[in-house]
Amino acid sequence: MTRVACIGEAMIEMSLDGDTAALGVAGDTLNTAVYLKRSAPEIEVDYITRLGSDPFSDRIKTFIASEGIGTAAIGIDPVATPGLYAITLGEGGERSFTYWRSASAARQLFADGDFSMLEGYDLVYLSGISLAILPHPVRLELIAYLKDAGVRVAYDNNHRPRLWTAKEARDVTSAFWGFADIPLPSIDDEIAVFGGDKTDARARFSTTPGLGAMKCGADGPFSIGAQVDQSYPPADRVIDTTSAGDSFNGAYLAARLQGMTQAEALRAGHDLAAKVVGCRGAIIPKTAM
């Protein structure tokens, strides 16, 4: 059985609708883990993070388990709590986020320098946010471990500039593009980290070693590492773009891990993202997939 470890921060999500808010559980790599597992139930998916011992942490862990995702590698911090974020929607479904995460238990992930929990997996998936919340020395240790571990690595450059310095973001992202087996950049984040325009961003991946996809919003994905010429239909409606990229990653990885072609995987990712943007919140009901 194929085994995948998804690393990151699981948070409490408040999706605002006027004066009310729907409470949920989300986080960029957790969203991908959920959509990966839903797209390929036969794949074993574990989530690796740290939570507290409070009721909201219990809620998060219960939700993760309810999606069929393994929780055995989730560490518990008796003092810290999970992060919280609120989504505010603007015109055209574009979203803005407000975060309360400075005391998040996930910031202590791998603080002891022990990466043994990552052994035995066929693929490790993580993002820029997974790295940005960690102290810089821990980031560097994790990068060194993954480069030498002999495990396939998938990386999304998901960028939150408030979490780290511009130099840290460039250095870490450059390191991953140098060895990631499955690069999954978003074009806007790539431009935010390295500058330039869309042409520059695509050109940077002409020499990277991996086979992956650059997410380009409504234009559809750009194939990395293989030439693919196909069109991508637009979403029927756009209500909330939260998790569009995360859901793309989940369906794309599921397709790749099931042996589908690059073209089929790109289309699977795009089709799921098109459904997700038509619903509110990061993780849509199973019935909407």
Residue-wise DSSP of 52-68 = -SSHHHHHHHHHHHHTT
Q: Higher confidence at residue 73 or residue 89?
A: 73
Pairing mode of beta strands 222-224, 212-214: antiparallel
Residue 97: strand, helix, or coil? strand
Q: Could you tell me the CATH number of the domain that includes residue 16?
A: 3.40.1190.20
Classify the C-alpha dihedral 49-55-59-65 as positive or negative: positive
State pTM to two decimals.
0.94
Comparing 215 with 89, the larger pLDDT belongs to 215
Active site residues: 246
Residue 93 has pLDDT above 70, yes or no: no
User: Model confidence over 200-224: pLDDT tens digits?
Assistant: 999 999 888 999 999 999 899 999 9
- Range of the structural domain that residue 44 is part of: 3-288
pLDDT at 95 over 80: no
With 60 as the cut, is the pLDDT of residue 67 above it?
yes
Rounded to a whole number, what is the largest CA-CA distance in the chain? 52
pLDDT averaged over every residue in the chain: 94
Q: What residue type is 272 in one-letter code?
A: L
pLDDT at position 113, please? Answer: 94
**For residue 249, what pLDDT is reported?**
98
* Residue 70 confidence (pLDDT) above 90: yes
Mean pLDDT on 51-75: 97
C-alpha 247/C-alpha 36 separation (Å) is 8
Question: For 119-176, how does the pLDDT look when each residue is reduced to its tens digit (9 = 90+)?
Answer: 999 999 999 999 999 999 999 999 999 999 999 999 999 999 999 999 999 999 999 9
**Looking at the predicted structure, is the pLDDT value of residue 42 above 80?**
yes
Strands 44-48 and 3-7: parallel
Distance between CA 26 and CA 148 in Å, rounded?
A: 30
Split into its structural domains, the chain has a count of: 1
For residue 28, what pLDDT is reported?
96
* CA proximity to 72, closest of 104, 105, 48: 48
d(CA 27, CA 33): 10
- Of 95, 105, 152, the residue nearest 276 (C-alpha): 95
